[in-house]
């Protein structure tokens, strides 16, 4: 098996590569619809897992919407045992470039069921609440995910874009397997980082290259080394649609943080 880039981290009960792969960019413009070149998108997913040894693939039902979950299934099914496919539910897409949280419990249940079908899985090993809907009681949003966990349809529950207060509130009634927030050398302060470290909760950093801006200025090594050196519980998930760019990202972290 290929050596995991940047070492490993335990996430949702699995030992996976600390460098994950975010799939946001495997869609059309505005994170909407199919990618311009579907074959390249499939190739990048296979390259991440089979060439580079990345074993943490992050996605969401809202990417496309639905597009990327189909791509992951077509590229990687049957999934290697060591690979973790994490997805997110609770966001609707009114139009290209538009995102809106929707935490109605019936909708969240439908999202989980649909993701299971698209990914061709019996259980979502790591399912995040993509956003907390301020119009719905947080307890109700978490309760439906807990119920589906009890039913065996979700393995572990994560939270995305949360504050310390929200994380503490959820932890009163539910274990949280991971938190996914923005963190990069530009947006470099998030109090949830320290809280997750103290609580032994993995912190998945999305937009680690600030949508490519940091890589254009410095290449990927400097911003990724900065993240990897911040703390060992941080796992970045850079995203790209280009095989060459993925090669550069992996090469930048292959020897781990400096």
Please state, for a pLDDT cut of 90, what percent of the chain lies above it. Answer: 91
Q: Cα–Cα distance between 131 and 222 in angstroms, integer?
A: 30
Rg value, the chain, Cα: 17
**Could you tell me the pLDDT band of residue 1, with boundaries at 50, 70 and 90?**
low
Q: How would you classify residue 88: left for phi > 0, otherwise alpha for psi between -120 and 50, otherwise beta?
A: beta
* Token pair for 185: 């050398």
The catalytically annotated residue of 63, 128, 203, 206 is 63
Q: Cα–Cα distance between 120 and 115 in angstroms, integer?
A: 8
Name the burial class of residue 219, with classes exposed (0-12), middle (13-18) and buried (19+) by CB atoms within 10 angstroms of its CB. middle
Global confidence as pTM: 0.96
Report the run of H or E that residue 73 belongs to, with start and end.
helix 67-76
Name the burial class of residue 253, with classes exposed (0-12), middle (13-18) and buried (19+) by CB atoms within 10 angstroms of its CB. buried
Condensed to tens digits (0 to 9), the pLDDT of residues 47-89 reads 999 999 999 999 999 999 999 999 999 999 999 999 999 999 9
Strands (E), the chain: 8-11, 14-17, 21-22, 56-58, 84-89, 91-92, 100-101, 124-129, 154-160, 178-182, 203-206, 234-236
Residue pointed to by tokens 């296979």 = 46
CA angle, 20 as apex, 44 and 14 as ends, to 5°? 120
Among 3.30.1490.20, 3.20.20.210, 3.40.630.10, 3.20.20.100, name the CATH number for the domain at 8-253. 3.20.20.100
216 pLDDT higher than 90: no
Are 215 and 209 in contact, with CB atoms under 8 Å apart? yes
63 catalytic residue (yes or no): yes
Condensed to tens digits (0 to 9), the pLDDT of residues 109-163 reads 999 999 999 999 999 999 999 999 999 999 999 999 999 999 999 999 999 999 9
């Amino acid at each position: 098996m290929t050596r995991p880039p940047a070492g490993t981290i335990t996430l949702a009960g699995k030992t996976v590569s600390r460098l994950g792969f975010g799939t946001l960019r495997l869609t059309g413009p505005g994170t909407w619809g199919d990618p311009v070149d579907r074959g390249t998108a499939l190739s990048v997913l296979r390259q991440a897992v089979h060439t580079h040894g990345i074993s943490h693939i992050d996605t969401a039902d809202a990417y496309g919407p639905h597009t990327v979950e189909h791509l992951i299934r077509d590229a990687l099914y049957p999934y290697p045992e060591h690979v973790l496919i994490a997805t997110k539910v609770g966001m609707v897409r009114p139009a290209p470039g538009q995102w809106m949280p929707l935490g109605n419990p019936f909708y969240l249940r439908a999202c989980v069921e649909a993701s299971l079908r698209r990914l061709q899985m019996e259980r979502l090993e790591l399912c995040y609440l993509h956003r907390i809907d301020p119009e719905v009681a947080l307890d109700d949003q978490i309760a439906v995910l807990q119920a589906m966990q009890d039913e065996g349809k979700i393995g572990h529950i994560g939270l995305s874009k949360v504050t310390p207060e929200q994380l503490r509130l959820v932890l009163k009634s539910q274990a949280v397997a991971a938190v996914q927030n923005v963190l990069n050398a530009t947006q470099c302060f998030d109090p949830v980082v320290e809280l997750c470290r103290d609580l032994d909760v993995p912190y998945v950093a999305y937009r680690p290259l600030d949508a490519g801006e940091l890589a254009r200025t410095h290449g990927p090594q400097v911003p990724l080394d900065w993240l990897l050196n911040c703390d060992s519980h941080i796992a970045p998930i850079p995203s790209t649609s280009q095989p060459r760019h993925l090669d550069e990202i992996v090469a930048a972290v292959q020897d781990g943080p400096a």
